[in-house]
Amino acid sequence: MATSSSDIGSRRLDLAGTRDFHVAGAGRARRAALSAFNREWLAEVWRSATGGARIEGVALAAVGSLGRGDAGPLSDYDLVLLHSERSLPAKELTALADRVWYPIWDAGVRLDHSVRTVTQCRQVAAGDLTAAVGLLDLTALAGDEELVAAARSTVAHDWRGNARKRLPQLVEALATRYARQGDLAQSIEPELKEAHGGLRDMTVLLALAEAWLADRPHGGVDAAHELLLDVRDAVHVVTGRGRDRLGREDHDAVAALLGHPDADDLLTAVSDAGRLIAYSLDGTVRRAGQSQRARTLRVGPRRPQMTPLGHGLFASDGEVVLGSARLAETDDGMALRAAVVASRAGLPIAPVTLENLAAAVPALPTPWPQYGRDLLGDLLASGPGLVTVWEGLDQVGIIEQWLPEWAAVRSRPQRNAVHRHTVDRHLVETVVRAAGLVRRTSRPDLLLVGALLHDIGKVRGSHDHSVTGAEATRTVATRWDFPPRDVDVLVTLVREHLTLIELATRRDHEDPATVDAAVAAVDGDREVFEILLALTEADASAAGPLAWTDWRATLLEQLAVAVRARLDAPQAGPDDAAAGEETGVRRVDPDVAAAVRAGRPQVHVVSGGGSHRLDIVDVDRVGLFADTAGLLAAEGHTVRTAILRTVDGVAIDEWHVESPSGAVPDPERIVRGLARLGRGDRGPLQTLDRRRAHLPRPSGSSGIGSPGQSRALVVPGASTEATVLEVRAQDRPGLLHELGAALAGAGVSVRSAHIATYAGQTLDTFYLTGADGLPLPPARVAQAVSLVIDTCDGVGPS
């Protein structure tokens, strides 16, 4: 062969790497060159295998990306040795196959291969849906081209003939794949091929068109397909491997190769492309189903069934359609009306209707009329149906007509580990969650609009999206003609939408300063507080399971109780305030106090979902916090919050934990463990010690948690009763125990601790006091900061 097998991989990469990736049209030219090279080399392999002789009834064919001509630089080869039943004896056919396959394997190319007759191709396609879709791309590479053409036309004929039966199977297969691979548009590490909206979906779209059940969209969806192919090619070049996943570690290099200013711009483009392909395929599947039902049910001429929905809109075969295009030309609220009707009915708006609405509906005047604002409120309150309807409106540009600021957050990625969606999709999901909470507030309209706008400030260049979003919200709310008082409330909601969850999870809700901060955020307004509280829950629950857990919900409710008590209480003078603080001190039952002083700690467990509250009463002593944290870690529980109080020498502690294993904390085991630890027996911590012994201590690796990378910051003004320290570090088993032990060794008491871990990073808050129960003086603060950083970095005591 003219080309050495060992050079094939480097030749394919050279063909890709020498092309200018970010020049328009370069991708098609690059893939055409790669396709020509692949075909020429495989033709050489064939000539070598056959000795240059022509063998009737035998051919080498390709399917998959090689057959379609859009293979990447390091894509695998999916080949079929096609033969007629009487072409060659079995042994000679096997020997020929070996002479073809082995040079490809020797070249290091991944190969999926088969040997089949035309009849076997039909049988495989009939029994395997994926194979059927793949065989539609069967393309001759060498040998008997008429045989390949016959196989392809036969499979295509069967595909069209069996389309009615295969369509439900196809829909089920798509759902299964999406459940496994997720949504390309919503992933920070998108699977470019198999995810919803990926390259595989474009293949299915082409297969549906081949079945003659429905035409497919063109134009934009083809450009989206080209973009994903370009990204896949860049991933191959950057990684030197035939990957289909755009990993975090490759974002910057792929973005640079494709000419994007940064990785976020790349991910936005990928998300846009995936959304368009997914939207196009979903719509084509619906229309294929409509076509199938029409063929099945029609006996003679039949008019489509139209169910009136009001406002000139109808439900027709699973979609909402406009009865007359003239209605769109005369009613500037028709797009909003159609959206409300469709969302409430749980139906998508038909693509043709969407295009008519986008092109014909007059723009709403600025500021909006009252009915426009009312219709928007109805749409936002419509529930889960909003997601699909909003996506359709967004695809044709209607959302940006209502809300121009939407363009800056559309498909924008979020790198925070708690988020599972892009910014725009998260906003819509938050609205859906908020719609289920409207009965908690007296102003559901403000809650829903606040949900829609709360992250509108997450735009390029924004350093504090809450502040940026508040400024944008004032502009939007004024455009929508909300009264000045309501505009101010919406601005407050957006500016403070993170305040309550941060106070609840990062601050001690029994500290008056924490309640003061929450009250100040809403300017002492109980109504605004309730709206903000509902928005906080909707935001967290829409973000994902990492942001809304049982323990977070519990802490938020505890803060809410304290804030409501403050807002509802009559104004008190200094003496009354002092008396109120005394009533907040928890007391211990005399019998319980006697038991713990006799060496019998008391533990009460209250479980709720996946979280557990442990009320622990024990004799106060130096190191009790560290021992309890270590014991809980040894038992396999993850500490989320510890609120510690001491009354007359007795510690009354409240611990909130999660149990990854699902085990419920055993109060008797914890009692025995605490009793032993109180006597100086370290046995209960041996499990934790063994676990830590097998983990590498932080060394010179980069990132938070390496020496010099952990952070400990004093939060001024967070409390008048303790020194508040925020800690950011790389998490590891027993770290909380290590920190508690180090602080205890320095004579520093931990009054409360609030623990959060995301993507392996801790974000912990400690309330610290000295032996006198007062905040630490400056010198002790500096000592505590240094001690905490050294412990996190693994250079302090363990």
Q: What's the pTM value of the predicted model, to 2 decimals? A: 0.84
Question: pLDDT of 690-738, one tens digit each?
Answer: 877 766 555 443 343 444 478 899 999 899 999 999 998 888 888 899 9
The pLDDT, as a whole number, for residue 293 is 67
The pLDDT, as a whole number, for residue 716 is 92
| pLDDT higher than 70, residue 140 | yes
Question: pLDDT of 33-89, one tens digit each?
Answer: 899 999 999 999 999 999 989 899 999 999 999 999 999 999 999 999 999 988 889
Q: Which residue in this structure is represented by tokens 């029609």?
A: 298
Distance CA 144, CA 337 (A): 60
Backbone angles phi, psi at 641, to 5 degrees: -150, 140
Q: Which residue in this structure is represented by tokens 């610290």?
A: 768
CATH code of 165-252+265-297, in short, is 1.20.120
Residue with the larger pLDDT of the pair 714 and 756 = 714
Spatial CA neighbour of 459 closest among 448, 439, 473, 447: 473
The pLDDT, as a whole number, for residue 580 is 40
Q: For residue 4, name the pLDDT band (cuts at 50, 70, 90).
A: low
Helix (H), strand (E) at residue 308 = strand 307-310
513-522, 679-688, 751-760: least confidently modelled range: 751-760
How confident is the model over 259-283, as a mean pLDDT? 96
Domain 5-161 top-level CATH class? alpha beta
249 and 37 Cβ atoms separated by less than 8 Å: no
Q: For residue 457, name the pLDDT band (cuts at 50, 70, 90).
A: very high
The pLDDT, as a whole number, for residue 703 is 40
Question: pLDDT of 598-625, one tens digit each?
Answer: 889 999 999 876 788 899 999 988 889 9
How confident is the model over 536-561, as a mean pLDDT? 90
186 and 425 Cβ atoms separated by less than 8 Å: yes
For residue 32, the 8-state DSSP code is H
Question: pLDDT of 272-313, one tens digit each?
Answer: 999 999 999 999 999 888 876 665 544 555 566 789 998 899
433 and 541 Cβ atoms separated by less than 8 Å: yes
Question: pLDDT of 465-476, one tens digit each?
Answer: 999 999 999 999
Q: Which residues of 42-76 are buried (b: 16+ CB within 10 A; e: fewer)?
A: beebbeebbeeeebebbbbbbbbbbbbbbbbbbbb
Domain ranges of the chain: 5-161, 165-252+265-297, 311-402, 424-572, 603-792
Question: pLDDT of 404-429, one tens digit each?
Answer: 999 999 999 998 778 889 999 999 99
Tokens of residue 779, six digits: 């010198």
How confident is the model over 490-502, as a mean pLDDT? 97
Length of the chain, in residues: 798
Distance CA 258, CA 127 (A): 41
Neighbours of 416 (CB within 10 A): 14
| pLDDT higher than 80, residue 18 | no
Residue with the larger pLDDT of the pair 695 and 756 = 756
Tokens of residue 667, six digits: 């109060």
The pLDDT, as a whole number, for residue 5 is 52
Distance CA 538, CA 426 (A): 10
Q: Which amino acid type is present at position 551?
A: W
239-243, 399-403, 523-527: least confidently modelled range: 239-243
Tokens of residue 725, six digits: 């320290």
Distance CA 454, CA 467 (A): 10
The pLDDT, as a whole number, for residue 213 is 78
The pLDDT, as a whole number, for residue 433 is 97
| pLDDT higher than 90, residue 236 | yes
Residue with the larger pLDDT of the pair 130 and 403 = 403
Distance CA 17, CA 112 (A): 25
Q: What is the CA radius of gyration of the chain?
A: 33
Give me the percent of the chain exceeding a pLDDT of 70: 92
Question: pLDDT of 634-689, one tens digit each?
Answer: 998 888 888 888 888 899 998 988 887 778 999 999 999 999 999 999 999 998 88
The pLDDT, as a whole number, for residue 302 is 55
Distance CA 213, CA 105 (A): 40
Maximal CA-CA distance, the chain: 107
Per DSSP, the residues of 226-247 read HHHHHHHHHHHHHHSS---B--
Q: Which residue in this structure is represented by tokens 């999901």?
A: 429
End-to-end CA distance of the chain: 65
| pLDDT higher than 50, residue 7 | yes
